[in-house]
Amino acid sequence: MAKDPWHYPQTALADQYLKTLAIGLSKSLVLFAQRRMGKTEFLRKDLLPAAEKAGYITIYVSLWESGEDPKSVLLDAIRKAAEGEGVIPGIWRRLGWPGSKGVRAHAGTIGAQASWEQGTAEASDRMLDLRQWMNTLAQKKNHTLLLVDEIQTLADEKRYGALVAALRSALDKHGDQIKAIFTGSSSEGLRWMFQKKKAPFFQFSHQIPFPQLGPEFVQHMLRAFAN
């Protein structure tokens, strides 16, 4: 990959986070900063390469970019890491993508009931898949680092509560082998996810502010512009 002349490298910060996870001080971290503060670029261009160099199996998901279905995007990324590319994803078959004829509700109680039961069964199957994939990752020789950008996208309890609970359970179970770093740009969303007592992620991660860029960043950008 060609080096991006505009990227301001923060390799020391990436190494610091990896060391924090490695020594067991915390099994997961939450990095908070407002949008457009460099979190995503840091994850993709600093933390991911550093983790891969350290031997981690890496999973990166941006929930901000995943449209209306962040649940499936997250699950598919975990599946790919656990099973590898080329494996036919059962999750897509259950969702009906592509070509599956799922049960849909038409007029009448029978159709609506059938659709509801199908949806309930699919949700249960997907959480079972998640547990199986996390078990597979935990059995691998290398540690896994899960990076989820804009985690507060899953703050809707009705839509994503079961997914977050299943993810919390799997990370608790395999915390020595699977580490996680989340980012968020909504203080309210993060408060709901990690500080609300009834939330699945309650007091799960150590939340730290993502450092603001200082004068060194300005000098780097000036040099890049001059070049």
pLDDT at 122 over 90: no
Is pTM beyond 0.85? Reply is no
**What percentage of the chain exceeds 70 in pLDDT?**
78
| pLDDT band with cut points at 50, 70 and 90 for residue 14 | very high
Mean pLDDT of all residues in 86-95: 41
pLDDT at residue 120 in the model = 52
pLDDT at 75 over 60: yes
Cα 7 from chain centre = 23
Q: Where are the domains of the chain?
A: 26-87+131-226
Where does residue 163 rank: exposed (0-12), middle (13-18), buried (19+ CB within 10 A)? buried
DSSP-based three-state secondary structure for 183? strand
pLDDT at 46 over 80: yes
Contact residues for 181 (Cβ-Cβ < 8 A; gap 6+): 17, 21, 28, 29, 30, 31, 43, 47, 145, 146, 147, 148
pLDDT at 94 over 60: no
Where does residue 215 rank: exposed (0-12), middle (13-18), buried (19+ CB within 10 A)? exposed
| pLDDT band with cut points at 50, 70 and 90 for residue 123 | low
CATH number for the segment(s) 26-87+131-226: 3.40.50.300
Q: What is the pLDDT of residues 128-147, one digit of tens each?
A: 889 999 999 999 999 999 99
pLDDT at residue 1 in the model = 53
Mean pLDDT of all residues in 98-108: 36
pLDDT at 153 over 80: yes
Return the residue matching tokens 């990324």.
77
Contact residues for 112 (Cβ-Cβ < 8 A; gap 6+): 105
Q: What is the pLDDT of residues 155-202, one digit of tens each?
A: 888 888 899 889 999 998 998 999 999 988 887 887 877 877 677 676
